C-alpha cells in the first residue's frame, strides 16, 4: 500500500505485557497487545481503513495515553479520558460501546453482552467483535468473561486478563477512588 498518511506508533511496557500504541489525527487508534494473535489482522484493518502506513514516533495523545495507563496500573485511574478513533464496522462499534460501559472492577459474560447488543443467536459475531478491539484497556474487553465466570480468550493472553481483573478488584477493595472520565 502506497500512502503519504501515517499512523504513528510506539510500544509501552505494562506490568502484564507490552502494548503498541498508535495515533492519527490527534486521536488514539491503537492500544493493543504486541503479542496478540490478532496483531496482523488488527494492523491491516487500521492501515487499510485509515489509508495509512505505520511509522514509529510519539504524539501528544500517545504521551497522554502512557500517563493514563501508568495511573491505571498504579490504581489511581478507573477509566480513560482520551480522544479515540475507532476503526471497525458499525456492529463492532456498537459492541465496543457496550464494553466501554462495563464498570471498573466488574465483569459481564459474552452471553449478557450479546443480549444487550444483538439477538441471542449473534453470540459468535459479538465474540468476534470483542476480539477485534484495537483499543484494549481503553475499551476494557478484559471485563468480558465466559458464562460460568471462566476466563476466555483475550488478546493479551489469559494471564494478562487475570492480572487486570485482579488489579481492578484489589483497587476497589482498597478504596482507591481514582480519577478520569469515561472511555470514549
What's the chain's Rg over C-alpha atoms? 16
Q: How many CB atoms lie within 10 A of CB 26?
A: 10
The number of C-alpha atoms within 13 Å of 119 and in the hemisphere containing its C-beta is 1
- Sorted by sequence, the CB contacts under 8 Å of residue 142 that are 6+ apart come out as 136, 154, 156, 160, 161, 164, 165
Number of other residues whose CB lies within 10 A of the CB of residue 32: 23
SS3 135: strand
How many CB atoms sit inside 10 A of residue 67's CB? 11
**Is position 115 annotated as part of the catalytic site?**
no
d(CA 69, CA 73) in angstroms, rounded, equals: 6
* Packing angle of the helix pair 110-117, 90-100 (nearest 10 deg): 120
Residues assigned a catalytic role: 141
Amino acid at each position: 500500500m502506497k500512502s503519504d498518511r501515517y499512523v504513528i506508533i510506539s510500544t509501552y511496557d505494562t506490568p502484564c505485557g507490552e502494548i503498541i500504541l498508535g495515533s492519527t489525527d490527534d486521536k488514539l487508534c491503537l492500544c493493543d497487545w504486541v503479542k496478540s494473535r490478532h496483531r496482523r489482522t488488527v494492523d491491516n484493518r487500521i492501515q487499510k481503513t485509515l489509508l495509512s502506513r505505520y511509522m514509529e514516533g510519539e504524539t501528544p495523545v500517545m504521551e497522554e495515553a502512557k500517563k493514563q495507563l501508568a495511573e491505571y496500573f498504579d490504581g489511581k485511574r478507573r477509566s480513560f479520558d482520551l480522544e479515540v478513533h475507532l476503526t471497525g464496522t458499525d456492529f463492532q462499534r456498537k459492541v465496543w460501546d457496550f464494553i466501554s460501559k462495563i464498570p471498573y472492577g466488574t465483569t459481564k459474560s459474552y452471553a449478557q453482552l450479546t443480549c444487550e447488543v444483538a439477538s441471542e443467536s449473534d453470540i459468535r459475531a459479538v465474540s468476534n467483535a470483542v476480539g477485534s478491539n484495537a483499543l484494549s484497556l481503553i475499551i476494557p474487553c478484559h471485563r468480558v468473561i465466559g458464562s460460568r465466570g471462566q476466563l476466555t480468550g483475550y488478546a493479551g493472553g489469559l494471564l494478562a486478563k487475570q492480572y487486570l481483573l485482579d488489579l481492578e478488584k484489589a483497587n476497589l477493595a482498597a478504596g482507591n477512588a481514582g480519577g478520569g472520565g469515561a472511555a470514549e
